[in-house]
Chain A
Amino acid sequence: MKLPASLYSRRAFLNGLIGGWLAALGSAFISPLLKYIVPPTPEPDQVTVPFADYKDMAPHTVKGFAWGNKPGLLQRTEAGEYVAFVGVCTHLDCNVSFVAEQRRFYCACHEGWYDENGLNVAGPPPSPLRRLSVSVEGDTLIVKRQG
């Protein structure tokens, strides 16, 4: 069947074509842009520190180390073992401190508390402090991601 007039004008067709091209071009530029603005900052798989620095810790004390860009907290237990936490509050990411007299971890930002085992006990934190696994090999102390 031959139509007496086109249903689609040449102008409308070209507008759609050029518009579509521009949209495709624009979206093709967006993906590399979005990739570029987030730099890769992988968390370390493990961190090693000289054991000598941590050997003489008394039980129920905590000493810091650098877990990548975050503070790590190494704690000596009653039994003399070492436990490590990522010293960052699970509420809104502030660095926590260990209050030795109360044997609890404290976040000053919104008054969050964790017990000695890193369990969230008061205030807004939704989950326990993240644990890291600790092992001693010769004179180095190795802290690794858990699991």
Chain B
Amino acid sequence: MKALGAWIEDRLGLGPVAAFLAKKEVPCHRHTILYYTGSSILLFLGIQIVTGVLLALYYQPTLAEANASVVRIMTEMPLGWLVRSVHSWSATFMIALVFAHLLGIAFTKAYRKPREATWLTGVLLLGSSLAFGFTGYLLPWDELSLAATKVGTNLPKALPVIGTWLTQVMRAGDDVTGDTITRFFIVHVSVLPLALLAILGVHIFLVQRHGMSAPLEAERDKIKLPWLPFWPNFLLREAGVWFVLLGVLLTVAVFLAPGVGPQADLMAPAPEGIKPEWYFLFMFQTLKLFPARILGLNGELIAMLVMMAGMAAVLFLPFIDDRPFERKGKVITGLAWAGLAYAIGMSIWSLM
């Protein structure tokens, strides 16, 4: 056994990695719970990959077959309804945890020097997760998914110069058609997974490189926090959290399986009460409220620019909040709470 270990070590040279993990420390403080969000996201990502491959065994990304093949998965394939339900719910859980992860890091200002690059890759991962949600939403090809995709892919059109081209790239032409399904499918199952895994590799490497971030006060006052060894103490606790989450996921997936709407008709009017997935609701409500013209300017363009400015502010937060210990840092925390309140308020409003 020892000889085999040595044989492998000679060829892979992973000793330093194992040594690193063996002495990795996890600080204990009142925000330690936030450390669990990262690994829980990985749990749901794994579930997404497995259930996604299973769905792709039967799903057919064409105009004629998309909706029918989802119906077939739901009604004819053994446990197909459960696979799809887990995929759909796990997506929701994953995105909820991505938001929790991001908010936890934002409000503890864990993005401060030297972790700016970790934050940047994290925001890119949020973007890819939302892109997964957006492209996946179209695939069942029912009335709601058609209307949501028409709206979503029309948004870039308001941008000058490249707007129309961007919309055409997303739609595979001027309109949402069968070609759009094929395109969204390929992006959903090939382009985005490659991008996400590449960025995730960098993200996880950076997290290990810098170690777990300690709270602001501990760093300022140079307090040495108590800590747990990552292996095996913290990992076992994480495994406990995973089991609980897995139980919740399966329970929800069994009792609240998503349905499939009637097949989308390109010529039919948009159905009443269309709504995007919950994580796009605040943008949806914002768009609804923006008037057509503001001071003679195109309201849609202004809405787009405001949203893009918001996204840029989130992306570059570590560089904007470059003095986390000072007054500026406190003001930015206040603004972040206001932004969060806006998103939650708008989401609730859109459901009323």
Contact = CB atoms under 8 A, between A and B. Distances in A.
Given A39-B173, A41-B173, A94 B179 contact: no
Contact of A124 (B154, B169, B179, B287): B287
A55 interface: no
Residue of A37, A66, A120 with highest tally of chain B CB at under 10 A: A37
Interface in A51-85: 64, 66, 68-71
Contact of B274 (A70, A96, A108): A108
Given A108-B273, A126-B292, A94 B267 contact: no
A1 interface: no
Given A39-B172, A70-B175, A87 B269 contact: yes
B121 to A, nearest CB: 24
B183 to A, nearest CB: 9
Interface string A37-53: 11111010000000000
Contacts of A69: 173-175, 177, 266
A94 B266 contact: no
Interface residues of B, number: 34
Nearest to B285: A110
Interface of B: 147, 150-151, 153-155, 157, 165, 168-169, 172-175, 177, 179, 266-274, 287-288, 290-293, 298-300
Given A92-B150, A124-B300, A126-B300, 12 more contacts: A38-B169, A39-B172, A39-B173, A40-B173, A41-B173, A69-B175, A94-B147, A106-B269, A108-B273, A109-B270, A123-B292, A125-B292
Interface of A: 37-41, 43, 64, 66, 68-71, 87, 89, 91-97, 106-111, 120, 123-127
